Amino acid sequence: MLSNHFQNGMETAKLVWSRLPNSEDGELDEVGISKKNDSSGVESLDYEVIENYAYREEQEKRGSLFVCYQVSLKWFLALMIGIGTGLAAIFINISVENFAGWKFALTFSIIQKSYFAGLLIYVLFNLALVFSSVYIVTHFAPAAAGSGIPEIKGYLNGIDVHGILLFRTLIGKIFGSIGSVGGGLALGKEGPLVHIGACIASLLGQGGSTKYHLSSRWLQGFNSDRDRRDLVTCGCAAGVAAAFRAPVGGVLFALEEVTSWWRSQLMWRVFFTSAVVAVVVRSAMAWCRSGKCGHFGAGGFIIWDISDGQEDYSFAELLPMAIIGVIGGLLGALFNQLTRYITYWRRNYLHKKGARVKIIEVCIISIITSAISFGLPLLRKCSPCPASEVECPNPPGMYGNYVNFYCRNENEYNDLATIFFNTQDDAIRNLFSAKTIHEFSAQSLLTFLIMFYTLAVVTFGTAVPAGQFVPGIMIGSTYGRLVGMFVVNFYKKPNIEEGTYALLGAASFLGGSMRVTVSLCVIMVEISNNLKFLPLIMLVLLISKAVGDAFNDGLYEEQARLKGIPLLESRPKYEMRQMTAKEGCRTRKVVSLPRIVKVSDVVSILRSNKHNGFPVIDHTRSGETLVIGLMLRSHLMVLLQSKLDFQHSSLPNDSRSGSLPIRHNNSEFIKPVSSKGLSFNDVHLSEDDLEMYIDLAPFLNPSPYIVPEDMSLTKVYNLFRNLGLRHILVVPRPSRVLGLITRKDLLIEDDDDHETELQSTSVRAQHRNGRSGSGSVDVEQPLLNGLLAQNNL
């Protein structure tokens, strides 16, 4: 009977394997259907408000009641983002802890009879969880692979990677994280939680998922990319707050690391969202302490309380602490470089062979990781339990130090198994623990450092949800505790704690790899629950970041570059100081459209190039060419699909007189989140349609940003990034000035002095005084406006 079951299982496995796409099928699309690679899947976002005719008509209809509704909806969505992200984090943590508890309990019970059988069960248990994770990613949600932070950082920087914020990505990220982390791989769930928070925020902002019939009309109040950006920022902060129980650190992480644009109103909502997450997580922890969450509850959420650790430190200890910062910068930069090479090889060679190869790769890494974490502690001799009040020994996989694994006597423990044959959260808690001097030997820490560092480098970039926060803390705390052991032996002071140096090592490695300083400093203080370590953490972070910057960029910047995400960093390149805006256009040919354009011409232009923006020109009665606005490709596709604005006449409509009927609302021109928008497959035109015309004036952006051709490219870069633009028109230097706006003109008040200032800089004042359009010199900050004759991108 057993052989029959085994044979049936093999047949089932072969059937499942045969259905996997092979190397000739190409990559998978967002729903798991095999297809050929045809595009990079990256598109810019429109954070600029397009004040066209439809937008202005929509704004005029909105009253004060609608404004109050929108403000209330923003705060309600911030509340829901916090609750949703907190619940997702609770579900992931409870699931991972319970899977780990069942795994270690089953393994520990079997190794009492046979260590080989225990190894087999341990490997198969991990392999099943990891296989479920990689299967979900490769067949259901390809965008759920990795941490997701480079993609979300790109989104907030103005780049939309298709599929990163979809509902299937959210589901794949949650269940994929449970499988990969519960399967014991050298990765964490904290990075994926940031992506999960962003997905929840995006889905709530668009009212849910229409594809899966999980939507609500009452929540569909924010359809623009600008509003979605604010919500996704709240989701990122909520993800960090949920991962580390660090609400202030979450706010600072969103401000420092992922966002390119910030304002005070958004700060309040982000802070409120993080506070909601903290309340939800703390309530869940209090509920789980009663034993209702299975194996979860004893270890709690990710917080490594070392408030009872080292009380004070001497000036002489600053030197070894600085050395920890240097080590963190060197190992962090090396980690970034190695993962960059391996990821490049994976993307260009290995992963191009199809989903089957991705599954094989992850399964092999899972088997190797399980064999190492189980087998290496068997080679280590056990040590006698210390004569202290600490409970010793403890069974594997349970919360506590001094794990008994392959020891002859009951009062012995295996120091390598304490950190290797354990969950990562409990291993870090053991490394951070105070009053446990000489618990770990230098040989065990060095062995663990080399093996786990190698596993983390190899695992990072595989086709599973993977974060780098916790593995980085594991690596840093290992060499930090190793340095702490030498400090204890050298200074011979009883108040020095090895756990303090482990905390500093964790901070140094994260700073050397991710190059995050302020937010990481606050996160480390919040998770350690000890404010006395703040100056020391600041010291090692500054040193590690300075050392790491001398070699390469941060981890997320390197990964974003490999994935083809064109991030605009906070500072422009030095070479841009010597370049002008005209030189920055790279002689790219500009394709412009007339105001009244034939439908066939629009189709021909859209098919012949991939530009997403087209300047619209018109001619005055004197024959002068004027730029009247900018038309987006996505808006043209909407007009072609609807056919509502086709006209037989080639004469323009007068949109200012109010006679033009409103056939579109502003939401129709908004591209759905994380989608490719309309394509020519959605447009069906007849021969008669192609002979008709479209007046583009009501739908174009009448006030695009324009810069003169000799403006420094550095100034253009700062303008482009700080305002979140998608296009800037480059024009020759204008010949006349219509007006001059100063700071005082932008302060709208009702006093007489301000009215006088406004009149003095207006066009009417110039005509009244009989001046030309030359303007006057003003010592305040001027903003030059005007209609320009030509343009060149």
CA-based nearest residue to 477, from 414, 407, 532, 425: 425
Q: In the prediction, which pLDDT does 416 show?
A: 87
- 756 pLDDT more than 70: no
pLDDT in tens, 312-335: 677 888 899 999 999 999 999 999
Tell me, letter by letter, the H, E, C secondary structure of 78-121: HHHHHHHHHHHHHHHHHHHHHHHHHHHHHHHHHHCCCHHHHHHH
pTM to 2 decimals? 0.84
Mean pLDDT across 135-151: 92
- The fraction of the chain above a pLDDT of 90, given in percent, is 33
Per the listing, tokens 């911030």 go with 78
Sign of CA dihedral 640, 644, 648, 654: negative
Instruction: Tell me what percent of the residues of the chain surpass a pLDDT of 70.
Output: 81
Among 6-20, 201-215, 567-581, which range has the highest average pLDDT? 567-581
CA distance 698 to 718: 30
Please give the pLDDT value at position 758.
Answer: 39
How large is the C-alpha radius of gyration of the chain?
A: 30
Distance in angstroms (rounded) separating the CA atoms of residues 400 and 609:
63
Is residue 481 very low, low, confident or very high in pLDDT (cuts 50, 70, 90)? very high
Q: What is the pLDDT of residue 159?
A: 87
Question: Is the pLDDT assigned to residue 761 strictly greater than 50?
Answer: no
pLDDT of residue 209: 66
User: Is it the case that residue 275 has pLDDT exceeding 70?
Assistant: yes
- Please list the residues that pair with 625 across neighbouring strands: 619
Q: Is the pLDDT at 179 greater than 90, yes or no? A: yes
The answer to which of 185-189, 363-367, 448-452, 568-572 has the lowest mean pLDDT is: 568-572
Let me know: does 127 contact 183? Beta carbons within 8 Å: yes
Q: pLDDT tens for residues 418-432? A: 888 888 888 888 888
Alpha helices in 112-211 (DSSP H): 115-139, 149-157, 167-182, 190-205
Please determine, for residue 525, whether its predicted confidence score (pLDDT) is greater than 80: yes
**So what's the pLDDT on residue 417?**
83
Q: Pick the residue with more confidence: 688 or 312?
A: 688
Give residue 620's pLDDT: 77
Q: Indicate whether 125 pLDDT > 90.
A: yes
Predicted confidence (pLDDT) at residue 793 exceeds the cutoff of 70 = no
Whole-number Å distance between alpha carbons of 605 and 597: 11
* pLDDT value at 788 more than 90: no
What pLDDT does residue 770 have? 44
Residue 30 above 50 pLDDT?
A: no
When pLDDT is averaged across residues 49-78 and rounded to a whole number, the result is 82
Q: Check whether 260 has a pLDDT greater than 90.
A: no
Measured between alpha carbons, how far is 746 from 330 in angstroms, rounded to an integer? 50
Dist. CA 555–CA 333, nearest whole Å: 8
pLDDT score at 651: 81
The rounded distance, in Å, linking the Cα atoms of 81 and 778 is 47
Which pLDDT score, from 0 to 100, does residue 380 have? 83
Q: pLDDT by residue (tens digit) across 527-583?
A: 887 788 888 999 999 999 999 999 999 999 999 988 888 888 888 888 888 888 888
**What mean pLDDT do residues 51-59 have?**
78
Distance separating alpha carbons of residues 71 and 54, to the nearest angstrom? 22
Q: What is the pLDDT of residue 2?
A: 40
Find the mean pLDDT for residues 645-672. Answer: 68
Digit-coded pLDDT (tens) for 395-416: 766 566 677 777 877 788 888 8
According to the model, what pLDDT value does residue 779 have?
Answer: 34
Q: What pLDDT, on the 0 to 100 scale, is given for residue 439?
A: 79
Alpha helices in 670-775 (DSSP H): 687-690, 713-723, 752-760, 763-769
Lowest mean pLDDT among 187-201, 362-376, 414-428: 414-428
- Partner residues linked to 614 by β-bridges: 631
Say what the pLDDT of residue 453 is: 96
